[in-house]
Each structure stands twice: as structure tokens, then as C-alpha cells.
């Protein structure tokens, strides 16, 4: 029985072992969110803060539905609607970012205290990899100057096929070739 529950338990244990730095950051974002909700005359519900904490404990890019499923797995009784509208609120107060990685792939990530970065997305498995290249900063200031723009932000997504998907494609192509040989 314990083995079957291992994953759920591990999630639970993992989420409760929080480093002091992380704890501090979570307190900071909670304060920002609290001030935002107060300013908008919105209710400061436990659910909203719990969702924020769950997001800041993650290190990935995630879809709204994944977050909802993860929260349910941890036995927190929060509705899908609450998860979705809290995400919208967190985007509005700049605590999370929403990316559109491809047509049907809206993904979120935390943004407070997080370094500027860009993304490469695998078109096969949808894996998202982050990268940071100072040359992009140079392009921003150069283009801003050249075209007389005050650049406020940018978005750069690159798409391609990751290493393991390249191998998978090769393998599939070989299998197809072999099959074709045998039918001739």
C-alpha cells in the first residue's frame, strides 16, 4: 500500500521541506499579492494564497490544468475555477508570467525574483528549456536606440526538436525503412 502512495507522499514531504531562502521569497510574494488584493477590494482567501505558494514551490513551466491536478493530488480541496481565476490575478499583479508556447500551449511560470530568460520549445514532446544570453540585452539597447524606442520587455521563443526526440525520429525512420525493404 505504501509503495502505491509513495508518489503522493513524496510530493507532500517535498512541499513541506522548504529552504529558508524559499520561505522568505514565499513570504515576500504573499505580501505583494495581499496588497494587490486589498487594493482591488478582492477577498484574501486561504485558497488563493495556497495556490500562490504551490506555484512558488515549483521550478517548471506548467499548464493551468497540471497545476490544478497537482493541487488535487495533494488533497487540497480547491475548485478548478478558483485555480484558473487565481492564475489570472497573479498574472495581473506580475507575480507569474503566461507564455504562449505554440498554438494550444499556454504555460505559466513564476516571475518574482527570477532572472530574465528566454525559451526553446521542443515541437515533439513540448519540453521547455530556458536560456539566458547577454547578447539579447545588447540587441534590445541597440534596437531601442536605433529606432528610438524605450524597450520595456521582449518575448523570444525558439522552436525545434530536442536531442531525445531527434533520436526517436531517427529510430522511427529506420523502422519504417526496414519495413519498406521487407515489403518489396
- Measured from the CB of residue 126, what is the shortest distance to Zn ion in angstroms? 7
Residues in region 127-156 near Zn ion by CB under 5 A: 127, 130
Q: Does 124 bind Zn ion (CB under 5 A)?
A: yes
User: Binders of Zn ion: how many residues, by CB under 5 A?
Assistant: 8
Calculate the alpha carbon distances from 78 to 7, 56, 70 in Å: 20, 17, 11
**What is the pattern of x (binds Zn ion, CB under 5 A) and - over residues 65-104?**
----------------------------------------
Q: Which one among 62, 90, 109, 121 touches Zn ion, defined by CB under 5 A?
A: 109
Residue 65 in grid coordinates: 490544468
Buried residues in 38-51 as b, exposed as e (16+ CB within 10 A) = eeeeeeeeebbbbb
- Measured from the CB of residue 35, what is the shortest distance to Zn ion in angstroms? 25
125 and 132 Cβ atoms separated by less than 8 Å? no
**What is the pattern of x (binds Zn ion, CB under 5 A) and - over residues 4-33?**
------------------------------
Phi-psi map region of 169: left, alpha, beta (phi>0 left; psi -120 to 50 alpha): alpha
Closer residue to Zn ion, CB minimum distance, 125 or 142:
125
Classify residue 150 by burial, with Cβ atoms within 10 Å: 0-12, 13-18, 19+: exposed
Residues in region 151-170 near Zn ion by CB under 5 A: 162, 165
Where do contacts with Zn ion occur on this chain (CB under 5 A)? 109, 122, 124-125, 127, 130, 162, 165
Amino acid at each position: 500500500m505504501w509503495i502505491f502512495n509513495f508518489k503522493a507522499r513524496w510530493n507532500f514531504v517535498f512541499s513541506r521541506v522548504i529552504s529558508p531562502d524559499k520561505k522568505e521569497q514565499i513570504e515576500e510574494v504573499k505580501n505583494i499579492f495581499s496588497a494587490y488584493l486589498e487594493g482591488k477590494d478582492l477577498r484574501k482567501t486561504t485558497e488563493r494564497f495556497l495556490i500562490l505558494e504551490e506555484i512558488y514551490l515549483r521550478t517548471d513551466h506548467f499548464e493551468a490544468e497540471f497545476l490544478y491536478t497537482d493541487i488535487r493530488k495533494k488533497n487540497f480541496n480547491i475548485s478548478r475555477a478558483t485555480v484558473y481565476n487565481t492564475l489570472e490575478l497573479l498574472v495581473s499583479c506580475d507575480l507569474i508570467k503566461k507564455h504562449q508556447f505554440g498554438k494550444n500551449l499556454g504555460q505559466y511560470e513564476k516571475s518574482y525574483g527570477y532572472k530574465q530568460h528566454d525559451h526553446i520549445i521542443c515541437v515533439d514532446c513540448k519540453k521547455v528549456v530556458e536560456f539566458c544570453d547577454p547578447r539579447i540585452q545588447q540587441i534590445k539597447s541597440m534596437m531601442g536606440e536605433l529606432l528610438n524606442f524605450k524597450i520595456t520587455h521582449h518575448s523570444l521563443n525558439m522552436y525545434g526538436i530536442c536531442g531525445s526526440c531527434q533520436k526517436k525520429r531517427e529510430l522511427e525512420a529506420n523502422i519504417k525503412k526496414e519495413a519498406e525493404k521487407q515489403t518489396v
